[in-house]
Chain A
Amino acid sequence: MAAKVPVERRKPLLRQLADSKILLLMCVPAIVFFIVFNYAPLPGAWIAFTNFNYRDGIFGSPFVGFKNFEFLIKSGQLWLLTRNTILYNLAFIIFGNILQIAIAVMLNEIRSTFFKKISQAAMFLPFFISAVLVGVIAFNLLNYDTGAINALIKQTGGDPIKIYSVAGIWPLIIIMVHLWQSTGYGSIVYFAAIMGIDRSLYEAAAIDGASAWQRIRYVTLPSLKPTFIILVLFSLGSIMHGNFGLFWNLVGNNAALFKTTDIIETSVYRMVLTQNNFTTSTAVGLYQSLFGFALVMTANWIVRRINKDYALF
């Protein structure tokens, strides 16, 4: 670095923008995307407070206050849906991150490049299988009359299990399928972070006589902390948003399983699909977003109290 460091003076905004023209240009698609799909529709949330009709439009329809929210409470669904959505997401976040880090670390320790590539590809592939196919595969594995698992049980002389009638098993099944699909993809981020760790740290550790396990414990894992925290924060932001495709295709309309598998998305979808009810579904969506927003703000606030550098904003 040069000996004479010029005093940083804050440039005027326009100048700053002009200086980073190219960077801004590269951001434009993302900015446009968020404006079009996330900010522009915001006023439409007004539907949740109206008795909506097409003729009067979103802002002309009669205002009904919180009437549309009443159903959520009345039907007793609010608590169940919130609980299911949050618990599933917590399980996805906790087990997902642990597994992703473990796999990234293990990949990093594999010396044979060929084997490393192969195993990475094999774990990555399920990510590309559509949820519809996952649902079909699951049905063919799990169903009572012709499913592979029950066929195996019958062949070995056991009694087949009515998997699609037992609500208790489904959290396990859904979490396993989710992890199977997403772990390979998620581990790549951690793997990239490991690649970015200063190699001299490992050399220094080796000179100090650290074993492979100690190098992981004292160099790799601490270096992954910022990535881990940012990823967890991001996922906390969407803790109220369920993986609709997965849940819908695995469970569908099977009411026997709703107690443990119904999340906000699937419930809203059924409601719009069968009820033609845009107002209450918007109300649920709004509840979901506000609750999610509060969660992100809280989580970020906590992280900022602990370590300012790890906070998102």
Chain B
Amino acid sequence: MNRRNIIKLGATILALGISANALMGSVQAQDAPTEITMLTMGNKPTNGRLEAMLEKLNARLLEQANAKLDLFYIEWADWQTQYNVQLLSGDDNVDLIATATDWLFAWENAEKGAFLPLSEEMLKANAPKTWAQVDAKGHWDLTKLNGEIFFAPEDNYTQYTNHGFFYRGDWATEAGFENGEITKFEDFTKYFEWVKATKPDAYPWDIAGANEAALTGYLQGHTDLQTLQQVTAGNYFPFQTSEADPYTVTSWYMQGDELLAAAELAKKWNDIGVWREDALNYDGDTREEFYAALTGVEQHHTQTYLTQIVDNMNTKQPGSDPRFFWFGKENGNFFKDIFTHGAMAVSANSKNPEKALQVYDLIRNDKENYMLFNFGIEGTDYIVTADGKLGFPEGYDSSTDGLGTNYWWGRMDEFELPKTSDAPNKAEIIAALDAQAKDYPYSTLIVSKAAIDPTLAAISGVLSEYIPQLQYGKFDDPAAAIAEMRQKLADVGFEEARASVQADIDAWATARGLK
């Protein structure tokens, strides 16, 4: 063999070796499972139950879609900022993003390009069951911005998250309410006075930090104004329409005398000593205080009442007869949950958007996956009782043993079991709410906020100065304070912003033939 041939042979062997390697490599790449990361909300659990569940779930996902799922948590401390900054960072390690239009800035982030627009073909090919189920209800329209779908709605799960007061039926009875039932917002004055006089250890209503329920609770029950959930100025919702005139934008902060009436009631409550003098700087856990009979009222929504309050109160304060007064109970002025109170988006930076959709479809629609992801491993994380209810194994402590997947982005009624911890009067409460609640009429309305963002920031600045003080009755002269606030709001361009939202509503109503 001459030298040239030897070189040729060597080169051939080398080439073969390289291409074989490359071939093997590509075969391996095809076989390697795709890792999908889901961004969710909550504190990452550390009890090992999540990992144990994921091991089981991933074995199934591997088989069904050659994929593995991992969770990325936005923890509760400072969650609004953390969530938005995480989306802003464009991290390509996150594939699925939990979102919501009313509390997780879904529209803002879709507008800013954090989410991948999802084409019909893509959804049909990769999330066929989700596509079909949402399509059958005609709900894809609720997730469209400029004609493109941006997330899958949690539209097949019944819950109410309308807010109100939890209070104690036993105390209300003693305070002189028939059957312990409080039916009007201002009647809480009587309840508070009674708590103040007879329960020296308890605050009538202990609140920690900024809250505006004393105002909005009153306004909801005493007007027919309905809040536009699409526009926020900081923590406030500055724009409303009225039921009588649903296509004219107004504001309860700017118009009418009801705000003053609410502020005067709040001042009365402050003078009684309903909350701590320094409520704004207090940051205790008032839910736990309610369980310990240290506060007469706790404020949150129906779902919390049905799944936590009743069960905890019945165990920790037997005989306390926990009740729920929802805001707008007087006049039926409250909404059913919108279908995008929870939703799932795909990150614009995801390297495997198709696979991400496949995984979501499998979690949302495969019962075994669903049970694993939502409730964990049967026997260790949950049990099914003889009467078909979901309960917990003996020795299970919900405060330390929680699974913590916090999957609120695509729950399905048909896979949910009634829970042993559910309120016994759940059906009754839901029926009462169903009888009164209105459908939110503006689900498909998109408000373009880009133009009014700086104005909303300025409005937020003014409201965050005045509303907490009005809520806690801290102004000696609420009428003067409200006048001052309205002047300031006008100065920063409130009317401009209102007119801009009005233009969006006009266009929307005209396009739908509503006006």
Contact = CB atoms under 8 A, between A and B. Distances in A.
Interface string A69-91: 01100111100000000000000
B456 A275 contact: yes
A293 interface: no
A277 B474 contact: no
A145 to B, nearest CB: 5
Interface in A253-289: 253-256, 258, 267, 270-280
Interface stretch (A23-31, A46-54, A98-106, A298-306): A46-54
Nearest to A150: B277
Contacts of A273: 78, 80-81
A75 B492 contact: yes
Nearest to A77: B461
B108 interface: yes
Interface string B467-490: 111000010000000000000100
B455 A275 contact: no
A139 B278 contact: yes
Contacts of A163: 278
Contact of B460 (A52, A67, A139, A275): A275
B481 to A, nearest CB: 11
Contact of A255 (B232, B280, B348, B458): B280
Given A71-B455, A75-B458, A145 B278 contact: yes
Interface string B111-133: 11110000000000000000000
Most chain A beta-carbon neighbours within 10 Å: one of B111, B235, B277, B454: B454
A102 B81 CA distance: 43
Contacts of B234: 270-271, 274-275
B457 A145 contact: no
Given A74-B493, A144-B276, A271-B460, A164 B281 contact: yes
B80 A274 contact: yes
B457 A277 contact: yes
B434 interface: no
A74 B88 contact: no
Contacts of A278: 88
B294 interface: no
B113 A56 contact: yes
A111 to B, nearest CB: 45
A274 B464 contact: yes
Contact of B461 (A70, A165, A271): A271
A74 B348 contact: no
Interface in A151-193: 162-165
Interface string B434-449: 0000000000000000
A166 to B, nearest CB: 11
A53 B112 contact: yes
B46 to A, nearest CB: 22
Nearest to B277: A144
Contacts of B488: 76
A65 B149 CA distance: 32
Interface residues of A, number: 41
Contact of A276 (B80, B468, B491): B80
B465 interface: yes
Contacts, number: 126
Instruction: Give the interface SS of chain A, mostly helix, strand, loop or mixed.
Output: helix
B112 A52 contact: yes
Contacts of B371: none
A53 B458 contact: no
B210 interface: yes
Given A75-B492, A165-B474, A273-B80, A252 B114 contact: no
A255 B469 contact: yes
Contacts of A71: 454-455, 457-458, 461, 492
B62 interface: no
Contact of A54 (B90, B232, B456, B492): B90
A163 B280 CA distance: 12
A162 B277 contact: yes
A253 B458 contact: no
A68 interface: yes
B280 A54 contact: no
Nearest to A273: B81
A220 B188 CA distance: 68
A67 B90 CA distance: 25
B457 A280 contact: yes
B209 interface: yes
B282 interface: yes
Contacts of A253: 209-210, 280, 464, 468
A55 B113 contact: yes
B105 interface: yes
A279 B277 contact: no
Contacts of B492: 71, 74-76
B303 interface: no
A230 B114 CA distance: 47
B278 A54 contact: no
B261 interface: no
A278 B85 CA distance: 9
Contacts of A271: 234, 457, 460-461
Given A53-B113, A278-B88, A74 B278 contact: no
Given A145-B277, A163-B278, 13 more contacts: A53-B112, A53-B113, A54-B114, A56-B113, A71-B458, A71-B461, A143-B276, A144-B277, A252-B283, A256-B468, A271-B461, A273-B78, A276-B108
Interface of A: 51-56, 67-68, 70-71, 74-77, 139, 143-145, 162-165, 251-256, 258, 267, 270-280
23 contacts: A52-B112, A54-B348, A55-B112, A55-B113, A55-B348, A71-B455, A75-B458, A144-B277, A164-B278, A251-B281, A252-B280, A253-B280, A254-B280, A255-B466, A255-B468, A256-B469, A271-B460, A272-B81, A277-B453, A277-B457, A278-B88, A280-B454, A280-B457
- In the A-B complex, the 6 residue pairs with the closest CB atoms: A55-B113, A144-B277, A274-B234, A75-B458, A71-B454, A53-B112
